Amino acid sequence: MKLFIDSANVNEVKDAASWGVISGVTTNPSLALKAGKPYKDSVLEIARLVDGPISVEGVAMKAGEIVAEAKEISSWHKNFVVKVAMGEEGIKAVRELSSKGVKTNVTLVFSVNQALLAALAGASFVSPFIGRLDDNGQDGMQLIRDIMLCYKNYGLEKRTSVIVASVRHPLHVIDAAKAGAPISTVPYGVLRQMFKHSLTDAGIKKFLEDHAALEALHKK
């Protein structure tokens, strides 16, 4: 399983990259707004920090315009993957882009059918938003299990990688791994929570205390 960071904040990406366990980045216009810099500047800086797929979202809504915008975005950096919103125009554009070798990530996916369409169009990645489904009173993680099952029935997981997105807490990451999802994109705060366990903290404290006690004993 791969971990991506879901952030357009350069400082967050820099810190997460220093851990050596992050292999990609996902961004969107809302994350870019929060980061407070022009979007292109943020993602180009991020590309210097993480050598892996970096999803950058376009805003065009008509197939021809999506294709033109995606070609432009993908020309900024070799690792850029263009996020395209689910829909008839988006899927039409993804089909054309995939035939031209432009990598895409179909975003705002909330059903198995949408995920199947993304794979059939040749998307490199598909992003089901599990947290938003949970917020809506639905079971986000069940969608991941269902997509993995349906993709595996036809070998589609070899063509299109599922990125579990809209992750809200560490349990989402565990359940995504149990479901066999290849990638989870995780906000910085949740990534930091993944390191934590109260027994680890207590264990470190005790080992340090005992080490100090042993040193003191042998100094006497």
Q: Which residues bind ligand G3P (CB under 6 A)?
A: 6, 26, 28, 31, 127, 129, 131-132, 165-166, 185
Catalytic option among 40, 83, 206, 220? 83
- Output phi, psi for 14, to 5 deg: -60, -45
Which residues on neighbouring strands pair with residue 184, listed in sequence order? 3, 164
Q: Around Cβ 125, how many Cβ atoms within 10 Å?
A: 25
128, two tokens: 């089901």
**Strand ranges, E, within the chain:** 2-6, 22-26, 54-57, 80-85, 104-109, 125-128, 161-164, 183-186
168: closest CA among 184, 140, 190, 191?
190
How far is residue 36's CA from residue 24's CA, in Å, rounded to a whole number? Answer: 21
Indicate if 83 belongs to the active site: yes
End-to-end CA distance of the chain: 51
CB of 21 to ligand G3P, least distance (A): 18
DSSP 136-190: TTS-HHHHHHHHHHHHHHHTGGGTSEEEEBS--SHHHHHHHHHTT-SEEEE-HHH
Considering the complex, state which of residue 57 and residue 96 has its C-beta at the smaller distance from ligand G3P: 57
Q: Is-contact 123 105, C-beta < 8 A?
A: yes
Q: List active site positions.
A: 83
